[in-house]
Structure 1
Amino acid sequence: MVRITSVHAASKEPSLLRPSRLAPIDELLLFLMHLSVGLHLRDLAKRFNIHTTTASRIITSWTHFLYYLLGSIRLWIPPEELKAHLPPEFALFPDTQVVLDCTEIFCQTPSSLLLHSEVYSPYKSHTTFKAMIGIAPHGPITFVSPLYAGSMSDREIFKQSGIAKLLTPEMAIMVDKGFLVDNLFSGKVYRPAFLARNKQMTKEDVQQTQSIARVRVHVERCIRRVKENKLFDKVIPLSVCGSIDQLFTVACLLVNYQNGPLVKAWATQK
């Protein structure tokens, strides 16, 4: 176990007594405390009795390591495997390959007006980074896009993320109303119906919209799990832009290994 010291004790301890390096398990603990609890570098350095630059190096190293380790594991699930794990809630949408939604995290406001206009999100009224996340019908994350500027539309992120290359004509996606991506790939799109001006929805449209809303909410629950990492509660400094993309991806991939299924009833399905 790592030795946790108080702030006062750590400040009195001679620097010569600082360990030259932490054990790998303690380095992983430090990384997870930074990601999940959102502790600052100075706080982590004092808790682990190491220099601040060492704590920064450990976080960067583990970010890169987990990014390549978890990223080497196949996320995209073949359609036949999805059908074998399809929850009964998706009985009306059996060809759904992925449920997509976008999310944003706040970032520091750039001094450059040009950069500010690129990362400013009208939806959040703040400068943000934006990513698209996709889950399989039974819950696991199967797609994570890179982080993009907050001003970018959902449609443009869909186009640039490369997910269209993974989709075939037999596959369907499920999205919210804002995802107008029908002509960007050859498959089917399940989306809540739009209400035309001065017209009332048909009974079929109402029923389908309600059905889609009941199952699409699970991608929002999955994204909430990602953002339960307290690091994303704060405004991300521009100084860490070089690694925040990988760090966010790692946070998404770790969700597949924690907290159990999104819906308890799905835990018993084979």
Structure 2
Amino acid sequence: MSLRPFKKQRCIGSTAEHCCVPLCEASAKYNTVLSFHTFLVDKDLRKTWIVNIRRDSFTITNHTRVCSRHFLQEDLIEPPKTNGRRTLRKGAVPVLFQWNNYSVPVSRPSIWQRRKHPSDEPLGEEEPVEENHLFEHDYCAVPDPAALDLALQQTDELREEVERLRSQIEDLSVRQRFCLRRFASSDEDIRFYTRFATYNHLMAFWSLIEPSTGKMLRITRARAASKKNQDIIPCPATQSLQPIDEFFLFMNYLSLGLKQRDLAHRFNISQSTVSRILVKWANYLYTVLGAVCIWMSQKATKAHLPEEFKDYADTQVILDCTELRCQTPSSLLLQSEVFSSYKSHCTFKGLVGMAPHGAVTFVSALYAGSISDKQILKESGIVQLLTQEMAIMVDRGFLVDDCVPCKVHRPAFLSSRSQMPASEVRETQSIAQLRVHVERLIRRVKQHKLFDTVIPLSITGTINQFYTVACLLVNYQNGPLVKECAKGQ
């Protein structure tokens, strides 16, 4: 049934009652044709009204109204007088709404009404019932083998389709996430993000450290704040990142020098989580890699001595210092401690030792940039590792002959002489050609872009761990610096 027409007209003196039916904008303030009816007292009818107007959990007040446009014409009782009020027939419910186009919903006939009954057919001669209609289903019958084979074939095809779709979904998920698997097929990307030569090279290193990753511990802030309440909590089993992706995040930070906020956006985690992962992995790798003895015996060093070191066969280690620029502290006293006159900047300074064949065999802690090369050699602890049969190769600035028990190979000084003898010139040139390898080694360390920028003072608490890990990783990330090695002496 369609709604009868009405017009809106301002009604002077009428109360501003509104219709509570959704999508209905009728108001008693602008209508003289429509009437507005309160909800019935009967609980069942009231519940039917609420269900019909689609207002679940609806609070009804004395001013809640439903306008007459939602009722059938036969449910409305017109007043006997012109100024009387229109009322509703007993049991009337609203059924006309905008969502049903103001038409009476047609109820579907029941099953009994849809079936034909013998009483509905005209009386006459009964038709004979065919015997085929009386056959019942044989539940003991065996299915056709051909149909069974077809069903099994279709099942196998559907299973293969499900596996294929699952694989596609997994590939799409990996492509959308920033993780190690996303770059597994590109050795160039692996070198860019981790400094490892190839993906297989990286996975070989991961296989060395993976067995102990489950034993990593996380120290809570309560432990750091109070020594009384010490609680070391193992890493939770359910983490936002897998351990190998946490390692990949750490290598991104070390290799590219990315900001922590950038890493948080890349890996879709919070910045505080990134900070915890970096500190955790820096301490973990510092412990694991630091537990490996990298100092070589004199016999092992000679067994791998390159041919070009034949004139300096007693060389045990090539030493050199490197400096990392750091943020200028606000304290003038600290500025004087970390300021380096060589770099004209505030720096951290460390000592690196390399075996003649190119492996890192010694890494010192970082010191303030104002420390001298001689002092850092004394405090680093390498003097205790040297013996009289050994020799070290150093730069011109290492005047350490009086503090080491071994021979020192160092380029000669011109001093007050106008010209060096030919023998000293040749010796200086040969030592310089051999010392260049330790500078190449330091360049490999500084390819980790974290050390290519000014180090903020906020990470000075863990900068030793980051620096040591970067130096030790050089032994795993690349091939040897000096490729041609002697088979033995």
TM, length-normalised to structure 1:
0.92
Partner of 1:156: 375
Q: Deviations over 1:237-256 (max 9, x none)?
A: 11111100111000000000
Q: Using the alignment, how far apart are the partners of 2:435 and 2:257 within structure 1?
A: 29
SS for the counterpart of 1:80 is helix
Distance 1:125 1:194 in 2: 25
Alpha-carbon contact 2:279-2:462 (below 8 Å) kept: yes
1:118 lines up with 2:333 in the alignment: no
Contact kept, 8 Å, 2:306 with 2:482, in 1: the verdict is no
Contact kept in structure 1, 2:303 and 2:487, CA below 8 Å: no
Any idea what the Cα deviations from partners look like across 1:122-156, whole Å, max 9, x if unmatched?
11110000000000000000000100000100000
Amino acid at match of 2:400: V
Instruction: Please list every run of 5 or more consecutive structure 1 residues that lacks an aligned counterpart in the other structure.
Output: 6-18
Which residue pairs with 1:131 in the alignment? 350
Equivalent residue in structure 2 for 1:3, among 160, 174, 177: 177
Distance 2:363 2:282 in 1: 16
Matched, 1:109 2:283: no
Asked whether the equivalents of residues 307 and 484 of structure 2 are also in contact (C-alpha less than 8 Å), the reply is no
**Cross-structure match for 2:77:** none
Query: Which of the residues 387, 392, 396 maps onto 1:173?
Result: 392
More moved, 199-208 vs 165-174: 199-208
Code of the residue aligned with 2:302 in structure 1: it is K
Q: Where do 1:86-101 residues align within 5 Å?
A: 86-101=305-320
The residue matched to 1:111 in structure 2 has which SS? coil
The answer as to 2:256 corresponding to 1:37 is: yes
Aligned to 1:52: 271
Q: Which residue of 1 aligns with 2:475?
A: 256
Task: Kindly indicate whether the alpha-carbon contact (under 8 Å) linking 2:325 and 2:454 is maintained by their aligned counterparts in 1.
Answer: yes
Where does residue 11 of structure 1 map in the other structure?
none
**Correspondences of 1:59-70 after superposition (within 5 Å):** 59-70=278-289
Counterpart secondary structure, 2:328: coil
Partner of 2:150: none
> Following the alignment from structure 1 to structure 2, what is the Cα–Cα distance between the partners of residues 54 and 181?
46
Alpha-carbon shift at residue 269 of structure 1 (Å):
5.5
Q: CA deviation at 1:263?
A: 3.0
Letter in 1 for 2:298: P
What one-letter code is carried by the residue in structure 1 that aligns with 2:394? V
* RMSD value, Cα: 1.5
Q: Which structure has more RCO (C-alpha within 8 Å, separation ≥ 6)?
A: 1
3-state SS of the aligned residue for 2:378?
helix
The runs of 4+ residues in structure 1 deviating greater than 2 Å are 263-266
Alignment: residue pair count:
256
Q: What displacement does 1:259 show?
A: 1.8
Write 1 or 2 for the structure with the bigger share of helix: 1
Name the SS of the counterpart of 2:311 in structure 1. coil
Cα distance in 2, alignment partners of residues 172 and 53 from structure 1:
48
Q: Which residue identity is paired with 2:177?
A: R
Offset from partner CA, 1:77-128 (integer Å, 9 cap, x none): 0000111110011101111010000000100000000000000001111000
1:21 matches 2:195: no
Q: Under a length normalisation based on structure 2, what TM-score does the superposition of the two structures give?
A: 0.51
Return the index of the structure with the highest Cα Rg.
2
Question: Of residues 236, 249, 255 in structure 1, which corresponds to 2:455?
Answer: 236
